[in-house]
A and B are shown apart, each in its own frame.
Chain A
Amino acid sequence: DGGITQSPKYLFRKEGQNVTLSCEQNLNHDAMYWYRQDPGQGLRLIYYSQIVNDFQKGDIAEGYSVSREKKESFPLTVTSAQKNPTAFYLCASGTGQFYEQYFGPGTRLTVT
């Protein structure tokens, strides 16, 4: 089955700790994206990557970091510099002329 997997579904961390969220896709898509969603809110773009070993900041990149060492994988690290890390994080991959994106199931991060 082709798709995007994010793990874990729920993640709990103490304030001051870095945490890495996993995102893997087997759709052979070139592009991958990370979004943040706060309760009752829309999506905000954190980082995106069009090709391996290259990525660009989105609208709210501060306090986050990413890597793209393989086409299939685009992990997101939420660093201790992120002031309000508790949120629902969505990973997506995209392809094609029209840049449609396909989303994973999300990871809900709670930092206390």
Chain B
Amino acid sequence: GNSVTQMEGPVTLSEEAFLTINCTYTATGYPSLFWYVQYPGEGLQLLLKATKADDKGSNKGFEATYRKETTSFHLEKGSVQVSDSAVYFCALSKLGNEKLTFGTGTRLTIIP
């Protein structure tokens, strides 16, 4: 079946540090890949997506590239801010399967 594996958290970084949150997936064919962000006490927000190999999704300074050869979709940001503190979820969907498969989430804390 489909699965998503994220790096274990929590992750703590200083402001302006470089961020990488690893995400790898298992799925047959060509899934679509997503990153969602959840701020404390809120629902999830779609941060970015990529729907085919080598696509790069980007939003709010975050980027992730769909790497078919390594089945990965790592989230990166060049310079994090305190306001980026949140839980980040990687997810995938498959054509013909209307459910999303989520990773377990990675809690990110940015300290000033």
Contacts and interface: CB of A to CB of B under 8 A. Distances in A.
Interface of A: 4, 6, 31, 33, 40-43, 45, 48, 50, 58, 90, 92, 94, 97-106, 108
A104 B98 contact: no
A41 B104 contact: yes
Nearest to A95: B98
Given A42-B89, A42-B105, A105-B43, A98 B98 contact: no
Interface string B82-98: 00000001000101011
B102 interface: yes
Interface residues of B, number: 23
Contacts of B103: 42
B77 interface: no
The dominant DSSP class at the A interface is strand
Contacts of A92: 43-44
Contact of B42 (A31, A99, A102, A105): A105
B43 A48 contact: no
Interface string B10-46: 0000000000000000000000101010000111111
